[in-house]
């Protein structure tokens, strides 16, 4: 069993007793109260925001407000929504692991209140991400801008908290450019959109699987436990299963639960080779520069230069470099010579190979290829 596998296995011991890959049919706060502290790796939440739509007024819990008998106004409505939001966020924070993150999606109706509550709950916002819809519903009355995006908030458990971000995988996914905070993805339609027997859409705000795909690929690792407290028709569960993550869904409506169960059962898990993603150099086995000298990949006395031959240095037997009376590690000397705060010596220093300057990092690659099984 390799080292990484061991770490994962140990992490999964903590999963014993959790209702993994199941849907809890319950109020989201009540259901979260049944989960232990710090047991979840990531939360994806798509909370309701049906405040004042179509002349009808609904409470955040979905119950109908009778305007005749209920004493309400805008303030009451916002205050009630805030109480609801702060309630479920407090539970979310309790069950989230220290190195976990939370995602919340919303529109201008609710996202500002949610974002404020996220910050007030002690979460630390990492990014806001806009889902730019390729094909949004037009504004029929021509009274405003076409509402063509939704906003996601991504937050860690605190300013100093660790978190998972698969930087390299995101960069690969985006054609070798850093993934940005604006994601252009189509809305959920066509065969992906779940329908009831009567042909009507099964859920009013079903999210596209591509959105969850990117969220899960960016911020979780295989085997991680993802909780969705507003599970709906189970997009989070379907994508989690496909990507080899575990899920816990919470959904109050029986009809949605049934649709979600069927849908997730049909989702095909990818096999492990397809799940492998590009890794950052950070996780590659480390090779000290001195090792290359010891093993003869580079001889003591060899001359290194930067790419433009502005500086040169001599390799010493202990793996340090020397320029004049300056000495130090490949990183330290590179930084000192450039007057920079830091320097990656592996890419800064070059050696001549077949009449060509090559970064010493290529020697490290050669070494790794020759010695790795």
Partner whose binding site includes residue 373, from a second copy, DNA, none (CB under 5 to 8 Å by kind): a second copy
Q: Residue 259, by phi and psi: left (phi above 0), alpha (psi -120 to 50) or beta?
A: alpha
Bridge partners, residue 64, by sequence: 58
C-beta of residue 48 within 8 angstroms of C-beta of residue 77: no
- Segment 237-266, which members bind a second copy (CB under 8 A)? 243
Binding mask 56-95 for a second copy (x = CB under 8 A): x-x-x-x-----------xx--x-----------------
Give the whole-angstrom CA distance, residue 29 versus residue 44: 14
Residue 276 touching a second copy (CB under 8 A): yes
Size of interface with a second copy, in residues (CB under 8 A): 118
DSSP category for residue 51 = S
| Tokens matching residue 218 | 């960016």
Q: How far is CA 79 from CA 22, 55, 83, 138, 353, in A?
A: 33, 19, 6, 31, 70
> Which of 14, 25, 161, 173 touches a second copy by CB under 8 A?
173
Give the whole-angstrom CA distance, residue 127 versus residue 152: 8
Partner whose binding site includes residue 173, from a second copy, DNA, none (CB under 5 to 8 Å by kind): a second copy
Minimum CB distance to DNA, residue 357 (Å): 12
Minimum CB distance to a second copy, residue 187 (Å): 9
3-state SS assignment for residue 105: strand
Compute how many other C-beta atoms are within 10 angstroms of the C-beta atom of residue 362.
14
Inter-axis angle of helices 74-95 and 111-120, nearest 10? 50
Residue 235 touching a second copy (CB under 8 A): no
Compute how many other C-beta atoms are within 10 angstroms of the C-beta atom of residue 6.
10
Rounded to a whole number of angstroms, the CA Rg of the chain reads: 26
Minimum CB distance to DNA, residue 77 (Å): 11
| Tokens matching residue 54 | 């179509």
CA-wise closest residue to 105 among 128, 125, 88: 128
Whose Cβ is closer to DNA: residue 20's or residue 340's?
A: 340
Partner whose binding site includes residue 204, from DNA, a second copy, none (CB under 5 to 8 Å by kind): DNA
Whose Cβ is closer to a second copy: residue 260's or residue 315's?
A: 315
Whose Cβ is closer to a second copy: residue 209's or residue 253's?
A: 209
> Which of 145, 197, 354, 355 touches a second copy by CB under 8 A?
145
The H or E element that residue 292 is part of is: helix 289-294
Give the whole-angstrom CA distance, residue 337 versus residue 339: 6
Whose Cβ is closer to a second copy: residue 25's or residue 357's?
A: 357
Residue 312 touching a second copy (CB under 8 A): no
The H or E element that residue 369 is part of is: helix 360-371
Partner whose binding site includes residue 296, from a second copy, DNA, none (CB under 5 to 8 Å by kind): a second copy
Stretch that binds a second copy, among 3-11, 12-20, 168-176, 196-204 (CB under 8 A): 168-176
> Which of 181, 195, 255, 309 touches a second copy by CB under 8 A?
181
Residue 317 touching a second copy (CB under 8 A): yes
Residue 340 touching a second copy (CB under 8 A): yes
Minimum CB distance to DNA, residue 52 (Å): 4
Whose Cβ is closer to DNA: residue 20's or residue 125's?
A: 125
- Segment 95-134, which members bind a second copy (CB under 8 A)? 107-109, 111-116, 118-120, 122, 125-130, 132, 134
Give the whole-angstrom CA distance, residue 209 versus residue 18: 25
């Amino acid at each position: 069993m390799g080292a990484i596998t061991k770490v994962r296995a140990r992490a999964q011991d903590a999963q014993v007793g959790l209702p993994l890959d199941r849907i809890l049919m319950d109020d989201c706060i009540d259901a979260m109260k049944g989960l232990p502290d710090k047991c979840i790796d990531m939360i994806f939440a798509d909370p309701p925001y049906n405040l004042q739509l179509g002349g009808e007024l609904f409470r955040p819990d979905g119950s109908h407000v009778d305007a005749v008998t209920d004493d309400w106004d805008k303030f009451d409505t916002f205050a009630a929504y805030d109480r609801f939001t702060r309630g479920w966020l407090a539970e979310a924070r309790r069950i989230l692991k220290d190195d976990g993150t939370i995602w919340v999606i919303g529109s201008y109706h609710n996202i500002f209140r949610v974002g404020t509550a996220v910050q007030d709950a002690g979460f630390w916002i990492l990014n806001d991400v806009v889902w730019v819809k390729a094909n949004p519903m037009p504004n029929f009355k021509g009274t405003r801008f076409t509402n063509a995006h939704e906003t996601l908030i991504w937050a860690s458990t605190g300013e100093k908290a660790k978190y998972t971000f698969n930087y390299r995988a995101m960069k690969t996914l985006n054609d070798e450019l850093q993934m940005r905070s604006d994601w252009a993805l189509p809305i959920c339609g066509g065969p992906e959109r779940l329908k009831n027997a009567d042909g009507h859409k099964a859920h009013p705000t079903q999210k596209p699987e591509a959105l969850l795909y990117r969220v899960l690929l960016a911020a979780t690792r295989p085997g991680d436990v993802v909780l969705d407290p507003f599970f709906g028709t189970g997009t989070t569960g379907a994508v989690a299963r496909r990507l080899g993550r575990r899920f816990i869904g919470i959904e109050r409506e029986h009809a949605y639960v049934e649709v979600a169960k069927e849908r997730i059962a049909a989702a095909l898990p990818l096999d492990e080779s397809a799940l492998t993603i590009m890794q950052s150099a950070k996780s590659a086995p480390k090779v000290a520069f001195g090792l290359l000298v010891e093993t003869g990949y580079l001889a003591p006395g060899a001359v290194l230069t930067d790419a433009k031959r502005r500086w040169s240095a001599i390799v010493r037997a202990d793996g340090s470099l020397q320029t004049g009376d300056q000495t130090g590690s490949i990183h330290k000397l590179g930084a000192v010579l450039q007057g920079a705060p830091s320097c990656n010596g592996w890419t800064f220093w070059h050696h001549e190979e077949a009449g060509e300057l090559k970064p010493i990092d290529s020697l490290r690659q050669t070494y790794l290829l020759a010695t790795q099984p």
